Structure 1
Amino acid sequence: MDTGFAGRRLSRGRLVRTAGRSGFVARGVLYTLVGVLALRIAFGDGGEQADRQGALHRIAGQPFGSAMLWALAAGFAGMAVWRASTAVFGEAGRKETGSRVLSAGRAVFYAFVCWATAASAAGAGGGSDGDAASRDWTATALGWPVGRWLVGGAGLALLGIGVAIAVRAAQRRFLRKLDTAAMRPRTRAAVTAMGVSGNLARGAVYGAAGIFVVLAAVRFDPGRAKGMDGTLRSFADSSTGPWLLVGVAAGLVAYGAFSFVSARWRRFGGAGA
Protein backbone atom coordinates (compact mmCIF):
# COMPACT_ATOMS: atom_id res chain seq x y z
CA MET A 1 0.00 0.00 0.00
CA ASP A 2 1.26 3.49 -0.83
CA THR A 3 2.76 5.13 2.30
CA GLY A 4 1.16 8.49 1.60
CA PHE A 5 -2.27 6.94 1.12
CA ALA A 6 -1.87 4.91 4.33
CA GLY A 7 -0.83 8.03 6.22
CA ARG A 8 -3.83 9.99 4.96
CA ARG A 9 -6.13 7.09 5.84
CA LEU A 10 -4.69 6.90 9.35
CA SER A 11 -4.97 10.67 9.80
CA ARG A 12 -8.59 10.62 8.60
CA GLY A 13 -9.35 7.80 11.02
CA ARG A 14 -7.90 9.74 13.95
CA LEU A 15 -9.88 12.85 13.06
CA VAL A 16 -13.10 10.85 12.81
CA ARG A 17 -12.45 9.16 16.17
CA THR A 18 -11.81 12.55 17.77
CA ALA A 19 -15.05 13.84 16.25
CA GLY A 20 -16.93 10.83 17.63
CA ARG A 21 -15.50 11.26 21.13
CA SER A 22 -16.45 14.95 21.17
CA GLY A 23 -19.95 13.94 20.12
CA PHE A 24 -20.33 11.52 23.01
CA VAL A 25 -19.23 14.25 25.42
CA ALA A 26 -21.84 16.64 23.98
CA ARG A 27 -24.52 13.95 24.22
CA GLY A 28 -23.50 13.32 27.83
CA VAL A 29 -23.91 16.99 28.73
CA LEU A 30 -27.36 17.14 27.13
CA TYR A 31 -28.77 13.99 28.73
CA THR A 32 -27.35 14.85 32.15
CA LEU A 33 -29.03 18.26 32.06
CA VAL A 34 -32.35 16.82 30.85
CA GLY A 35 -32.22 14.28 33.68
CA VAL A 36 -31.51 16.98 36.25
CA LEU A 37 -34.38 19.12 34.95
CA ALA A 38 -36.69 16.09 35.12
CA LEU A 39 -35.61 15.47 38.73
CA ARG A 40 -36.53 19.08 39.55
CA ILE A 41 -39.97 18.49 38.07
CA ALA A 42 -40.37 15.35 40.18
CA PHE A 43 -39.57 17.28 43.33
CA GLY A 44 -41.97 20.11 42.57
CA ASP A 45 -39.81 22.64 40.73
CA GLY A 46 -41.26 22.25 37.25
CA GLY A 47 -40.72 25.67 35.73
CA GLU A 48 -38.28 24.57 32.99
CA GLN A 49 -38.73 22.15 30.11
CA ALA A 50 -37.08 18.78 30.65
CA ASP A 51 -35.95 18.35 27.04
CA ARG A 52 -33.26 19.54 24.66
CA GLN A 53 -34.64 23.07 24.55
CA GLY A 54 -34.76 23.28 28.34
CA ALA A 55 -31.17 22.04 28.60
CA LEU A 56 -29.92 24.56 26.02
CA HIS A 57 -31.81 27.35 27.77
CA ARG A 58 -30.20 26.38 31.08
CA ILE A 59 -26.70 26.43 29.51
CA ALA A 60 -27.38 29.79 27.83
CA GLY A 61 -28.17 31.31 31.23
CA GLN A 62 -24.75 30.41 32.67
CA PRO A 63 -21.60 32.56 32.58
CA PHE A 64 -19.93 32.04 29.19
CA GLY A 65 -23.15 30.29 28.16
CA SER A 66 -22.80 31.25 24.50
CA ALA A 67 -19.26 29.82 24.32
CA MET A 68 -20.47 26.63 26.00
CA LEU A 69 -23.27 26.29 23.45
CA TRP A 70 -20.84 26.75 20.56
CA ALA A 71 -18.62 24.03 22.07
CA LEU A 72 -21.66 21.79 22.39
CA ALA A 73 -22.63 22.47 18.77
CA ALA A 74 -19.09 21.53 17.69
CA GLY A 75 -19.46 18.28 19.61
CA PHE A 76 -22.73 17.43 17.88
CA ALA A 77 -21.14 18.30 14.54
CA GLY A 78 -18.42 15.80 15.40
CA MET A 79 -21.03 13.16 16.19
CA ALA A 80 -22.75 13.82 12.85
CA VAL A 81 -19.41 13.46 11.01
CA TRP A 82 -18.59 10.20 12.78
CA ARG A 83 -22.06 8.73 12.17
CA ALA A 84 -21.83 9.73 8.51
CA SER A 85 -18.45 8.04 8.23
CA THR A 86 -19.82 4.80 9.74
CA ALA A 87 -22.65 4.97 7.20
CA VAL A 88 -20.04 5.01 4.42
CA PHE A 89 -17.27 2.78 5.80
CA GLY A 90 -19.11 0.67 8.39
CA GLU A 91 -18.41 0.49 12.11
CA ALA A 92 -15.93 -1.87 13.77
CA GLY A 93 -15.98 -4.14 10.75
CA ARG A 94 -19.78 -4.26 10.49
CA LYS A 95 -20.90 -4.06 6.86
CA GLU A 96 -24.63 -4.71 7.20
CA THR A 97 -26.83 -2.44 5.11
CA GLY A 98 -29.25 -1.95 8.00
CA SER A 99 -26.45 -0.75 10.28
CA ARG A 100 -25.29 1.75 7.66
CA VAL A 101 -28.80 3.09 7.07
CA LEU A 102 -29.23 3.53 10.84
CA SER A 103 -25.92 5.40 11.00
CA ALA A 104 -27.03 7.67 8.14
CA GLY A 105 -30.27 8.46 9.99
CA ARG A 106 -28.32 9.25 13.15
CA ALA A 107 -25.98 11.51 11.17
CA VAL A 108 -28.97 13.52 9.91
CA PHE A 109 -30.42 13.69 13.44
CA TYR A 110 -27.19 14.97 14.99
CA ALA A 111 -26.72 17.45 12.15
CA PHE A 112 -30.14 18.86 13.10
CA VAL A 113 -29.22 18.95 16.81
CA CYS A 114 -25.98 20.72 15.88
CA TRP A 115 -27.91 23.32 13.87
CA ALA A 116 -30.43 23.87 16.70
CA THR A 117 -27.63 24.23 19.27
CA ALA A 118 -25.75 26.67 17.05
CA ALA A 119 -28.96 28.67 16.58
CA SER A 120 -29.30 28.91 20.38
CA ALA A 121 -25.67 29.99 20.67
CA ALA A 122 -26.27 32.71 18.07
CA GLY A 123 -29.33 33.91 19.97
CA ALA A 124 -31.76 32.81 17.27
CA GLY A 125 -33.43 30.14 19.38
CA GLY A 126 -33.04 26.41 18.96
CA GLY A 127 -36.41 25.43 17.64
CA SER A 128 -39.95 25.38 18.99
CA ASP A 129 -41.24 23.83 22.19
CA GLY A 130 -41.04 20.05 21.85
CA ASP A 131 -44.61 19.40 22.96
CA ALA A 132 -46.00 22.13 20.70
CA ALA A 133 -43.98 20.79 17.76
CA SER A 134 -45.33 17.28 18.37
CA ARG A 135 -48.91 18.54 18.48
CA ASP A 136 -48.43 20.69 15.37
CA TRP A 137 -46.90 17.81 13.40
CA THR A 138 -49.67 15.46 14.52
CA ALA A 139 -52.40 17.96 13.67
CA THR A 140 -50.93 18.49 10.19
CA ALA A 141 -50.56 14.76 9.54
CA LEU A 142 -54.08 13.97 10.76
CA GLY A 143 -55.40 16.36 8.11
CA TRP A 144 -53.96 14.24 5.30
CA PRO A 145 -56.13 11.61 3.54
CA VAL A 146 -54.37 8.70 5.24
CA GLY A 147 -52.97 10.82 8.05
CA ARG A 148 -54.55 8.81 10.82
CA TRP A 149 -52.72 5.68 9.67
CA LEU A 150 -49.44 7.57 9.24
CA VAL A 151 -49.65 9.02 12.73
CA GLY A 152 -50.55 5.63 14.18
CA GLY A 153 -47.64 4.04 12.31
CA ALA A 154 -45.25 6.69 13.61
CA GLY A 155 -46.46 6.07 17.15
CA LEU A 156 -45.99 2.31 16.79
CA ALA A 157 -42.50 2.92 15.38
CA LEU A 158 -41.58 5.03 18.41
CA LEU A 159 -43.02 2.38 20.71
CA GLY A 160 -41.02 -0.29 18.87
CA ILE A 161 -37.83 1.76 19.20
CA GLY A 162 -38.45 2.11 22.94
CA VAL A 163 -38.98 -1.63 23.37
CA ALA A 164 -35.88 -2.42 21.27
CA ILE A 165 -33.74 -0.05 23.36
CA ALA A 166 -35.01 -1.63 26.58
CA VAL A 167 -34.44 -5.20 25.33
CA ARG A 168 -30.91 -4.38 24.16
CA ALA A 169 -30.25 -2.76 27.56
CA ALA A 170 -31.39 -5.90 29.37
CA GLN A 171 -29.17 -7.99 27.08
CA ARG A 172 -26.24 -5.60 27.77
CA ARG A 173 -25.53 -5.44 24.05
CA PHE A 174 -24.01 -1.97 24.44
CA LEU A 175 -20.95 -3.61 26.04
CA ARG A 176 -20.00 -5.06 22.65
CA LYS A 177 -19.18 -1.56 21.43
CA LEU A 178 -16.90 -0.73 24.36
CA ASP A 179 -13.32 -1.76 25.02
CA THR A 180 -14.29 -3.62 28.21
CA ALA A 181 -10.96 -5.52 28.25
CA ALA A 182 -9.23 -2.25 29.18
CA MET A 183 -11.55 -1.70 32.17
CA ARG A 184 -11.00 -2.86 35.72
CA PRO A 185 -13.75 -5.17 37.09
CA ARG A 186 -15.28 -2.43 39.26
CA THR A 187 -15.20 0.03 36.37
CA ARG A 188 -16.91 -2.48 34.10
CA ALA A 189 -19.60 -3.13 36.73
CA ALA A 190 -20.24 0.61 37.08
CA VAL A 191 -20.32 1.13 33.31
CA THR A 192 -22.74 -1.79 32.94
CA ALA A 193 -25.05 -0.30 35.58
CA MET A 194 -24.97 3.08 33.83
CA GLY A 195 -25.67 1.52 30.43
CA VAL A 196 -28.54 -0.67 31.64
CA SER A 197 -30.32 1.99 33.72
CA GLY A 198 -29.67 4.74 31.16
CA ASN A 199 -30.94 2.78 28.20
CA LEU A 200 -33.96 1.48 30.11
CA ALA A 201 -34.87 5.09 30.89
CA ARG A 202 -34.48 6.07 27.23
CA GLY A 203 -36.59 3.11 26.20
CA ALA A 204 -39.31 4.15 28.63
CA VAL A 205 -39.37 7.71 27.23
CA TYR A 206 -39.50 6.56 23.59
CA GLY A 207 -42.13 3.93 24.36
CA ALA A 208 -44.39 6.30 26.32
CA ALA A 209 -44.07 8.99 23.63
CA GLY A 210 -45.08 6.39 21.04
CA ILE A 211 -48.16 5.41 23.05
CA PHE A 212 -49.26 9.06 23.21
CA VAL A 213 -48.90 9.39 19.43
CA VAL A 214 -50.94 6.20 18.92
CA LEU A 215 -53.64 7.61 21.21
CA ALA A 216 -53.64 10.82 19.18
CA ALA A 217 -54.32 8.75 16.04
CA VAL A 218 -56.98 6.52 17.63
CA ARG A 219 -58.88 9.45 19.15
CA PHE A 220 -58.13 11.83 16.27
CA ASP A 221 -56.83 14.32 18.83
CA PRO A 222 -53.42 15.95 18.18
CA GLY A 223 -53.43 17.26 21.75
CA ARG A 224 -52.67 13.72 22.91
CA ALA A 225 -49.19 13.81 21.32
CA LYS A 226 -46.35 14.80 23.61
CA GLY A 227 -42.68 15.70 23.27
CA MET A 228 -40.01 14.66 25.75
CA ASP A 229 -41.03 17.23 28.38
CA GLY A 230 -44.71 16.25 28.27
CA THR A 231 -43.83 12.55 28.30
CA LEU A 232 -41.62 12.95 31.35
CA ARG A 233 -44.27 14.98 33.17
CA SER A 234 -46.79 12.22 32.46
CA PHE A 235 -44.66 9.84 34.53
CA ALA A 236 -45.17 12.13 37.53
CA ASP A 237 -48.94 11.90 37.01
CA SER A 238 -48.94 8.09 37.18
CA SER A 239 -50.29 6.06 40.11
CA THR A 240 -46.78 5.89 41.59
CA GLY A 241 -46.73 9.66 42.01
CA PRO A 242 -43.40 11.36 41.30
CA TRP A 243 -41.31 8.24 41.96
CA LEU A 244 -41.60 6.81 38.48
CA LEU A 245 -40.33 10.13 37.11
CA VAL A 246 -37.53 10.11 39.70
CA GLY A 247 -36.43 6.69 38.44
CA VAL A 248 -36.58 7.67 34.76
CA ALA A 249 -34.83 10.99 35.42
CA ALA A 250 -32.05 9.27 37.36
CA GLY A 251 -31.73 6.86 34.43
CA LEU A 252 -31.30 9.77 32.01
CA VAL A 253 -28.54 11.19 34.21
CA ALA A 254 -26.96 7.72 34.18
CA TYR A 255 -27.18 7.71 30.38
CA GLY A 256 -25.38 11.04 30.35
CA ALA A 257 -22.62 9.48 32.46
CA PHE A 258 -22.59 6.45 30.14
CA SER A 259 -22.08 8.83 27.19
CA PHE A 260 -18.99 10.28 28.90
CA VAL A 261 -17.74 6.74 29.46
CA SER A 262 -18.36 5.97 25.78
CA ALA A 263 -16.17 8.93 24.82
CA ARG A 264 -13.34 7.14 26.62
CA TRP A 265 -13.92 3.45 25.85
CA ARG A 266 -15.98 3.31 22.66
CA ARG A 267 -14.47 1.20 19.89
CA PHE A 268 -14.04 3.34 16.78
CA GLY A 269 -13.06 0.68 14.26
CA GLY A 270 -13.91 1.26 10.61
CA ALA A 271 -14.80 4.78 9.59
CA GLY A 272 -11.82 4.91 7.28
CA ALA A 273 -9.39 4.05 10.10
Structure 2
Amino acid sequence: MMPEKTTVIAAIARTGYVAKGVVYFLVGLLTMQTAIGMGGEAPGTTQALQEIIYRPFGSVLLIAIIIGLLAHAIWRIVQAIFDPENRDDTLFVKLFRVVDFSIGCLYISLSYAAWQILRGLQAQSSDESTEVWIGRILELPFGKWLVILIAVSVLVGGFYQFYSAVVASFDYSFDSKNMSNPEKILLRWLGRIGIFSWGIVYCMVAYLLYRAASTFDAEEAGGLAEALNALRDQPFGIWILGITAGGLIIYGLYLLVLSYYHKVYDGKPFD
Protein backbone atom coordinates (compact mmCIF):
# COMPACT_ATOMS: atom_id res chain seq x y z
CA MET A 1 0.00 0.00 0.00
CA MET A 2 1.34 3.45 -0.92
CA PRO A 3 2.35 5.89 1.81
CA GLU A 4 -0.12 8.69 2.32
CA LYS A 5 2.31 11.37 1.14
CA THR A 6 2.91 9.49 -2.09
CA THR A 7 -0.84 9.28 -2.68
CA VAL A 8 -1.23 13.02 -2.12
CA ILE A 9 1.60 13.88 -4.52
CA ALA A 10 0.21 11.53 -7.17
CA ALA A 11 -3.24 13.12 -6.82
CA ILE A 12 -1.75 16.61 -7.13
CA ALA A 13 0.18 15.61 -10.27
CA ARG A 14 -2.85 14.00 -11.90
CA THR A 15 -5.16 16.90 -11.05
CA GLY A 16 -2.67 19.30 -12.60
CA TYR A 17 -2.43 17.29 -15.81
CA VAL A 18 -6.23 17.30 -16.15
CA ALA A 19 -6.41 21.10 -15.84
CA LYS A 20 -3.47 21.64 -18.18
CA GLY A 21 -5.00 19.22 -20.68
CA VAL A 22 -8.32 21.07 -20.69
CA VAL A 23 -6.60 24.44 -21.23
CA TYR A 24 -4.45 23.31 -24.15
CA PHE A 25 -7.25 21.28 -25.71
CA LEU A 26 -9.29 24.47 -25.72
CA VAL A 27 -6.36 26.51 -27.11
CA GLY A 28 -6.00 23.98 -29.92
CA LEU A 29 -9.73 23.95 -30.62
CA LEU A 30 -9.98 27.74 -30.80
CA THR A 31 -6.85 27.89 -32.96
CA MET A 32 -8.37 25.33 -35.33
CA GLN A 33 -11.43 27.59 -35.66
CA THR A 34 -9.07 30.40 -36.65
CA ALA A 35 -7.29 28.17 -39.17
CA ILE A 36 -10.51 27.14 -40.93
CA GLY A 37 -11.92 30.67 -40.91
CA MET A 38 -14.47 30.28 -38.10
CA GLY A 39 -12.68 32.60 -35.66
CA GLY A 40 -10.58 35.74 -35.48
CA GLU A 41 -7.16 35.76 -33.86
CA ALA A 42 -5.56 32.60 -32.52
CA PRO A 43 -5.76 32.51 -28.70
CA GLY A 44 -3.24 32.13 -25.94
CA THR A 45 -3.82 30.47 -22.58
CA THR A 46 -5.38 33.59 -21.04
CA GLN A 47 -7.84 33.94 -23.93
CA ALA A 48 -8.74 30.25 -23.59
CA LEU A 49 -9.48 30.78 -19.88
CA GLN A 50 -11.67 33.76 -20.78
CA GLU A 51 -13.67 31.48 -23.09
CA ILE A 52 -14.43 29.13 -20.20
CA ILE A 53 -16.18 31.82 -18.14
CA TYR A 54 -18.78 32.32 -20.89
CA ARG A 55 -19.78 28.64 -21.00
CA PRO A 56 -22.59 27.04 -18.97
CA PHE A 57 -21.39 26.63 -15.38
CA GLY A 58 -18.34 28.63 -16.49
CA SER A 59 -17.56 29.94 -13.00
CA VAL A 60 -17.58 26.44 -11.53
CA LEU A 61 -15.41 25.13 -14.36
CA LEU A 62 -12.96 28.02 -13.96
CA ILE A 63 -12.66 27.42 -10.21
CA ALA A 64 -11.84 23.78 -10.97
CA ILE A 65 -9.26 24.90 -13.55
CA ILE A 66 -7.68 27.30 -11.05
CA ILE A 67 -7.32 24.48 -8.51
CA GLY A 68 -5.87 22.24 -11.20
CA LEU A 69 -3.38 24.86 -12.41
CA LEU A 70 -2.21 25.44 -8.84
CA ALA A 71 -1.86 21.67 -8.47
CA HIS A 72 0.30 21.55 -11.60
CA ALA A 73 2.42 24.42 -10.28
CA ILE A 74 2.95 22.55 -7.00
CA TRP A 75 3.81 19.36 -8.89
CA ARG A 76 6.44 21.06 -11.07
CA ILE A 77 8.03 22.70 -8.03
CA VAL A 78 8.05 19.33 -6.21
CA GLN A 79 9.70 17.83 -9.32
CA ALA A 80 12.33 20.55 -9.20
CA ILE A 81 13.15 20.18 -5.50
CA PHE A 82 12.66 16.45 -4.75
CA ASP A 83 12.66 14.73 -8.19
CA PRO A 84 10.06 12.12 -7.13
CA GLU A 85 10.27 10.39 -10.52
CA ASN A 86 13.90 9.43 -9.81
CA ARG A 87 15.39 10.80 -13.02
CA ASP A 88 19.10 10.45 -13.68
CA ASP A 89 21.40 12.64 -11.59
CA THR A 90 23.06 14.19 -14.64
CA LEU A 91 23.84 17.82 -15.39
CA PHE A 92 21.09 17.81 -18.02
CA VAL A 93 18.48 16.62 -15.51
CA LYS A 94 19.65 19.23 -12.99
CA LEU A 95 19.14 21.88 -15.65
CA PHE A 96 15.73 20.40 -16.39
CA ARG A 97 14.83 20.68 -12.70
CA VAL A 98 15.55 24.41 -12.87
CA VAL A 99 13.18 24.54 -15.86
CA ASP A 100 10.59 22.62 -13.81
CA PHE A 101 10.78 25.26 -11.07
CA SER A 102 10.38 28.07 -13.61
CA ILE A 103 7.37 26.34 -15.18
CA GLY A 104 5.84 25.95 -11.72
CA CYS A 105 6.13 29.70 -11.21
CA LEU A 106 4.57 30.32 -14.63
CA TYR A 107 1.55 28.18 -13.71
CA ILE A 108 1.12 30.09 -10.47
CA SER A 109 0.95 33.21 -12.65
CA LEU A 110 -1.55 31.54 -15.00
CA SER A 111 -3.76 30.46 -12.10
CA TYR A 112 -3.70 34.06 -10.84
CA ALA A 113 -4.77 35.25 -14.30
CA ALA A 114 -7.65 32.75 -14.15
CA TRP A 115 -8.59 34.12 -10.71
CA GLN A 116 -8.67 37.63 -12.12
CA ILE A 117 -10.96 36.47 -14.95
CA LEU A 118 -13.24 34.79 -12.41
CA ARG A 119 -13.51 38.09 -10.51
CA GLY A 120 -14.31 39.97 -13.72
CA LEU A 121 -10.97 41.76 -13.86
CA GLN A 122 -8.73 42.27 -16.88
CA ALA A 123 -5.97 39.65 -16.88
CA GLN A 124 -2.67 40.34 -18.60
CA SER A 125 -2.02 37.94 -21.47
CA SER A 126 1.28 36.12 -21.99
CA ASP A 127 1.87 38.29 -25.07
CA GLU A 128 1.52 41.48 -23.02
CA SER A 129 3.76 40.25 -20.20
CA THR A 130 6.37 39.06 -22.72
CA GLU A 131 6.39 42.47 -24.39
CA VAL A 132 6.80 44.21 -21.01
CA TRP A 133 9.75 42.04 -19.96
CA ILE A 134 11.46 42.18 -23.35
CA GLY A 135 11.04 45.97 -23.32
CA ARG A 136 12.80 46.14 -19.94
CA ILE A 137 15.62 43.88 -21.12
CA LEU A 138 16.13 45.94 -24.27
CA GLU A 139 16.70 49.00 -22.08
CA LEU A 140 19.66 47.30 -20.36
CA PRO A 141 23.26 47.59 -21.56
CA PHE A 142 23.71 44.94 -24.26
CA GLY A 143 19.95 44.36 -23.99
CA LYS A 144 19.67 43.50 -27.68
CA TRP A 145 22.19 40.67 -27.28
CA LEU A 146 20.47 39.43 -24.13
CA VAL A 147 17.20 39.12 -26.05
CA ILE A 148 19.01 37.32 -28.87
CA LEU A 149 20.46 34.94 -26.27
CA ILE A 150 16.94 34.31 -24.94
CA ALA A 151 15.76 33.70 -28.51
CA VAL A 152 18.54 31.16 -29.06
CA SER A 153 17.65 29.45 -25.77
CA VAL A 154 13.99 29.19 -26.79
CA LEU A 155 15.05 27.86 -30.20
CA VAL A 156 17.16 25.19 -28.51
CA GLY A 157 14.09 24.37 -26.41
CA GLY A 158 12.11 23.99 -29.63
CA PHE A 159 14.69 21.61 -31.08
CA TYR A 160 14.56 19.64 -27.84
CA GLN A 161 10.79 19.30 -28.24
CA PHE A 162 11.39 17.81 -31.70
CA TYR A 163 14.03 15.46 -30.27
CA SER A 164 11.77 14.46 -27.38
CA ALA A 165 8.91 13.75 -29.80
CA VAL A 166 11.11 11.52 -31.97
CA VAL A 167 12.70 9.46 -29.18
CA ALA A 168 9.68 9.63 -26.81
CA SER A 169 11.90 10.76 -23.92
CA PHE A 170 8.77 11.70 -21.95
CA ASP A 171 7.54 8.14 -21.39
CA TYR A 172 9.51 7.74 -18.14
CA SER A 173 6.41 9.13 -16.40
CA PHE A 174 4.11 6.37 -17.71
CA ASP A 175 2.84 3.76 -15.27
CA SER A 176 4.19 1.06 -17.62
CA LYS A 177 3.67 -1.78 -15.15
CA ASN A 178 -0.10 -1.28 -15.27
CA MET A 179 -0.44 -0.50 -18.99
CA SER A 180 -0.95 -2.85 -21.89
CA ASN A 181 1.34 -2.54 -24.91
CA PRO A 182 -1.39 -0.93 -27.10
CA GLU A 183 -2.08 1.61 -24.34
CA LYS A 184 1.62 2.52 -24.15
CA ILE A 185 1.85 2.86 -27.94
CA LEU A 186 -1.26 5.07 -28.09
CA LEU A 187 -0.12 7.35 -25.26
CA ARG A 188 3.38 7.57 -26.72
CA TRP A 189 2.04 8.65 -30.12
CA LEU A 190 -0.31 11.21 -28.58
CA GLY A 191 2.69 12.64 -26.75
CA ARG A 192 4.88 12.63 -29.84
CA ILE A 193 2.37 14.54 -31.96
CA GLY A 194 1.52 17.04 -29.22
CA ILE A 195 5.10 17.73 -28.20
CA PHE A 196 6.21 18.10 -31.83
CA SER A 197 3.55 20.80 -32.19
CA TRP A 198 5.04 22.59 -29.19
CA GLY A 199 8.37 22.50 -30.99
CA ILE A 200 6.80 24.51 -33.81
CA VAL A 201 5.44 27.04 -31.31
CA TYR A 202 8.83 27.35 -29.55
CA CYS A 203 10.59 28.03 -32.85
CA MET A 204 8.08 30.73 -33.77
CA VAL A 205 8.43 32.38 -30.33
CA ALA A 206 12.21 32.36 -30.85
CA TYR A 207 11.73 34.03 -34.24
CA LEU A 208 9.54 36.74 -32.67
CA LEU A 209 12.14 37.37 -29.96
CA TYR A 210 14.87 37.66 -32.57
CA ARG A 211 12.71 40.09 -34.54
CA ALA A 212 12.15 42.18 -31.40
CA ALA A 213 15.92 42.31 -30.79
CA SER A 214 16.84 43.12 -34.38
CA THR A 215 14.26 45.92 -34.65
CA PHE A 216 14.72 47.04 -31.02
CA ASP A 217 10.92 46.88 -30.69
CA ALA A 218 9.46 44.88 -27.78
CA GLU A 219 6.05 44.79 -29.47
CA GLU A 220 7.49 42.37 -32.04
CA ALA A 221 7.89 39.78 -29.27
CA GLY A 222 5.06 37.62 -28.02
CA GLY A 223 3.89 34.47 -26.33
CA LEU A 224 1.70 31.60 -27.46
CA ALA A 225 -1.06 33.65 -29.13
CA GLU A 226 1.36 35.89 -31.02
CA ALA A 227 3.36 32.86 -32.15
CA LEU A 228 0.25 31.12 -33.49
CA ASN A 229 -0.90 34.26 -35.30
CA ALA A 230 2.60 34.71 -36.76
CA LEU A 231 2.43 31.16 -38.08
CA ARG A 232 -0.69 32.08 -40.01
CA ASP A 233 1.20 34.89 -41.76
CA GLN A 234 3.92 32.59 -43.14
CA PRO A 235 3.85 30.92 -46.59
CA PHE A 236 1.27 28.11 -46.39
CA GLY A 237 0.54 29.56 -42.96
CA ILE A 238 -3.08 28.43 -42.77
CA TRP A 239 -2.01 24.83 -43.31
CA ILE A 240 0.82 25.11 -40.78
CA LEU A 241 -1.52 26.74 -38.26
CA GLY A 242 -4.12 24.03 -38.80
CA ILE A 243 -1.54 21.27 -38.30
CA THR A 244 -0.22 22.98 -35.18
CA ALA A 245 -3.77 23.46 -33.85
CA GLY A 246 -4.48 19.78 -34.39
CA GLY A 247 -1.27 18.96 -32.55
CA LEU A 248 -2.27 21.14 -29.60
CA ILE A 249 -5.65 19.41 -29.45
CA ILE A 250 -3.84 16.07 -29.38
CA TYR A 251 -1.46 17.43 -26.73
CA GLY A 252 -4.46 18.30 -24.57
CA LEU A 253 -5.81 14.76 -25.05
CA TYR A 254 -2.37 13.35 -24.22
CA LEU A 255 -2.33 15.23 -20.90
CA LEU A 256 -5.85 14.07 -20.04
CA VAL A 257 -4.95 10.44 -20.74
CA LEU A 258 -1.60 10.85 -18.95
CA SER A 259 -3.44 12.02 -15.84
CA TYR A 260 -4.86 8.48 -15.59
CA TYR A 261 -1.74 6.55 -16.60
CA HIS A 262 0.76 8.71 -14.73
CA LYS A 263 3.26 6.78 -12.64
CA VAL A 264 2.66 6.61 -8.89
CA TYR A 265 5.82 7.76 -7.18
CA ASP A 266 8.10 6.02 -4.75
CA GLY A 267 10.66 8.82 -4.56
CA LYS A 268 12.98 9.14 -1.57
CA PRO A 269 11.18 12.13 0.04
CA PHE A 270 7.96 10.11 0.19
CA ASP A 271 9.21 6.76 1.52
Q: Same fold (TM over 0.5)?
A: yes
User: Which residue of the partner structure matches residue 48 of structure 2?
Assistant: 55
Q: Contact between 1:38 and 1:246, CA under 8 Å: does it hold in 2? A: yes
- Which range moves more in the overlay, 174-183 or 164-173? 174-183
User: Which residue of the partner structure matches residue 270 of structure 2?
Assistant: 272
- Which range moves more in the overlay, 108-117 or 168-177? 108-117
Q: CA deviation at 1:254?
A: 0.5
Q: Which amino acid aligns with 1:117?
A: A
Q: Verify: 1:100 aligned to 2:63, yes or no.
A: no
Q: CA deviation at 1:105?
A: 2.0
Q: Which amino acid aligns with 1:119?
A: Q
1:134-181 alpha-carbon deviations (Å, 9 max, x no partner): 333322321222211121111111111111111111111112221234
User: Which residue of the partner structure matches residue 250 of structure 2?
Assistant: 254
User: Which residue of the partner structure matches residue 74 of structure 1?
Assistant: 67
TM-score between the two structures when normalised by the length of structure 1: 0.89
TM-score between the two structures when normalised by the length of structure 2: 0.90
Q: CA deviation at 1:49?
A: 4.5
Q: Which amino acid aligns with 1:256?
A: G
* Distance in 1 (alpha carbons) for counterparts of 2:124 and 2:70: 21
What stretches of structure 2 of length at least 5 have no aligned partner? none
Q: CA deviation at 1:104?
A: 2.0
Q: Contact between 1:85 and 1:272, CA under 8 Å: does it hold in 2? A: no
* Distance in 1 (alpha carbons) for counterparts of 2:102 and 2:160: 17
Q: Contact between 1:156 and 1:210, CA under 8 Å: does it hold in 2? A: yes
Q: Contact between 2:155 and 2:206, CA under 8 Å: does it hold in 1? A: yes
User: Which residue of the partner structure matches residue 29 of structure 1?
Assistant: 22
User: Which residue of the partner structure matches residue 83 of structure 2?
Assistant: 90
User: Which residue of the partner structure matches residue 133 of structure 1?
Assistant: 129
1:196-233 alpha-carbon deviations (Å, 9 max, x no partner): 11000011101110111012112222232122112112
Q: Which amino acid aligns with 1:164?
A: Y
User: Which residue of the partner structure matches residue 58 of structure 2?
Assistant: 65
Q: Verify: 1:211 aligned to 2:207, yes or no.
A: yes
Determine helix, strand or coil for the equivalent of 2:192. helix
User: Which residue of the partner structure matches residue 33 of structure 2?
Assistant: 40
Q: CA deviation at 1:192?
A: 1.9
Determine helix, strand or coil for the equivalent of 2:56. coil
Relative to structure 1, the CA distance from residue 268 to residue 152 in structure 2 (aligned partners, 3 Å threshold; closer, same or farther) is farther
Count of equivalent residues: 265
Q: CA RMSD in A?
A: 2.0
- Which range moves more in the overlay, 169-178 or 77-86? 77-86
Q: CA deviation at 1:93?
A: 2.0
1:114 aligned residue (106, 111, 115)? 111
1:239 aligned residue (220, 229, 235)? 235
* Distance in 1 (alpha carbons) for counterparts of 2:193 and 2:65: 24
Relative to structure 1, the CA distance from residue 73 to residue 220 in structure 2 (aligned partners, 3 Å threshold; closer, same or farther) is same
Q: CA deviation at 1:88?
A: 2.7
Q: Contact between 1:42 and 1:246, CA under 8 Å: does it hold in 2? A: yes
Q: Which amino acid aligns with 2:13?
A: G
Identity of matched residues, %: 28
Q: Verify: 1:183 aligned to 2:176, yes or no.
A: no
User: Which residue of the partner structure matches residue 4 of structure 1?
Assistant: none
* Distance in 2 (alpha carbons) for counterparts of 1:120 and 1:197: 31
1:86-129 alpha-carbon deviations (Å, 9 max, x no partner): 2332222236333432332222222222222222222223x323
Matches within 5 A, 1:144-223: 144-223=140-219
* Distance in 2 (alpha carbons) for counterparts of 1:110 and 1:230: 19
Q: Contact between 1:66 and 1:122, CA under 8 Å: does it hold in 2? A: no
1:26-71 alpha-carbon deviations (Å, 9 max, x no partner): 0000000000111011011333541111111110101211111111
